[in-house]
Structure 1
């Protein structure tokens, strides 16, 4: 759902991209049908796209604020991506003066990496690419300045966007003109790309850890006890009660780390002078208390079911 056009050569690198992003939700078979109609150019505007999606029972969300281009050092990176069931597939072009590399990634693993020193490169679905390439042939002149190339690329993307909802009319244009010959360009690209992929790998690892933690928090939050018996008093020291947890209860801290399991003791505090060994401890209406007289108890732990 993207269109990226890049020039790389002795003048430098200029890259233009739309900013459209489309999210889908619905039946896979109908979604495939909708995508087929889109990519074959049978749907040519947003209104018809929304109407056809509704007919097929597909919910869609269109935004035009995605940043598909980024400057990294003396390099411009353009990326188109497709989210699969388990992994995101990325196709990237890294361009600078006198050099570019095209990298294909599955997750953060490199599947292919190709290099060149000059050229016009177009990323996009087949319909958008064909339309863009036709317009490039009509408007392109090798004598044009880098800035004028950028203006032409912007106009091409805007025109393609009028023919297909897969491309948005909001456009980013970036340029880079470092003092690189062909050898220095590839050396710089190698260093830049290697580092960029390492950053992606680290980001994915951190994201995975965050998702695991979020899933743990959801799981544990669902286990927090808000009703029922949790244990009994086994020792008393002033206003401190040592409560032995029953066989269905565990105690965790604020980070969901287990502090005590069934049969182990936890510390609670009471204002009552009538607590006795053997008293049952319960949670009633989400309040921790002694069962016999509902006198309130306090603790700095979270009580969860197993």
Structure 2
């Protein structure tokens, strides 16, 4: 899991997601230890991640080109974070449009809508550390504003998260829409 953050407003929606994917190889208990440290926020840089992985004998493959946010047709923004545990893949997906959003969870190809919401909300998907960082940024810097203000805050949040945890890439995708779409049937679209 990394970081997907969105603002759903009355005049539009904006969403950003980082592009990092990390694959681990090695002893399962060592991988679990490394993931716990990484997603718990104790590994801040790529160099520290590589050093810690080497210390405990885990091979890592980092890529920063995974698309986690896409602008789908008809004004629906889709973002997702994925967690792999053994052969099981769990995906949390966010659908956003002007004025409303839906969060769905996909486990082993079965989708279940877990939350629906309306404007004016920020929604954050990610690991505990990235969610904490994003929520802190929102609480400290958001006092209402325009969709453009929300967009600037999201970009700042993505930059801050990338500077304090190696689980987030420095590059990210940012999309927006000013269309209002009925999300009842949009939940079939996705990236997983």
User: Residue 107 of structure 2 aligns with which residue?
Assistant: 106
User: Residue 13 of structure 1 aligns with which residue?
Assistant: 13
Note the C-alpha offset of 1:10: 0.6
CA deviations on 1:195-239 (whole Å, 9 max, x unpaired) are x27x97xxxxxxxxxxxxxxxxxxxxxxxxxxxxxxxxxxxxxxx
Pairing of 1:1-306 with structure 2 (within 5 A)? 1-72=1-72, 73-118=74-119, 119-143=121-145, 145-178=146-179, 180=180, 185=181, 188-194=182-188, 196=189
Q: How many residues align?
A: 190
Query: Structure 1 stretches (4+) deviating beyond 3 angstroms?
Result: none
Give RMSD over aligned pairs: 1.7
TM value normalised by structure 2? 0.92
2:9/2:147 contact within 8 Å kept = no
Distance 1:151 1:65 in 2: 22
Structure 1 unpaired stretches of 5+: 201-306
Which shows bigger deviation, 79-88 or 5-14?
79-88
Per chain length, whose mean CA-contact separation is higher, i.e. which structure has more relative contact order (CA < 8 Å, sep 6+)?
A: 2
TM value normalised by structure 1? 0.59
Larger radius of gyration: 1
Structure 2 unpaired stretches of 5+: none
Note the C-alpha offset of 1:87: 3.1
Distance 2:40 2:21 in 1: 19
CA deviations on 1:261-287 (whole Å, 9 max, x unpaired) are xxxxxxxxxxxxxxxxxxxxxxxxxxx
* SS of structure 2 residue aligned to 1:66: coil
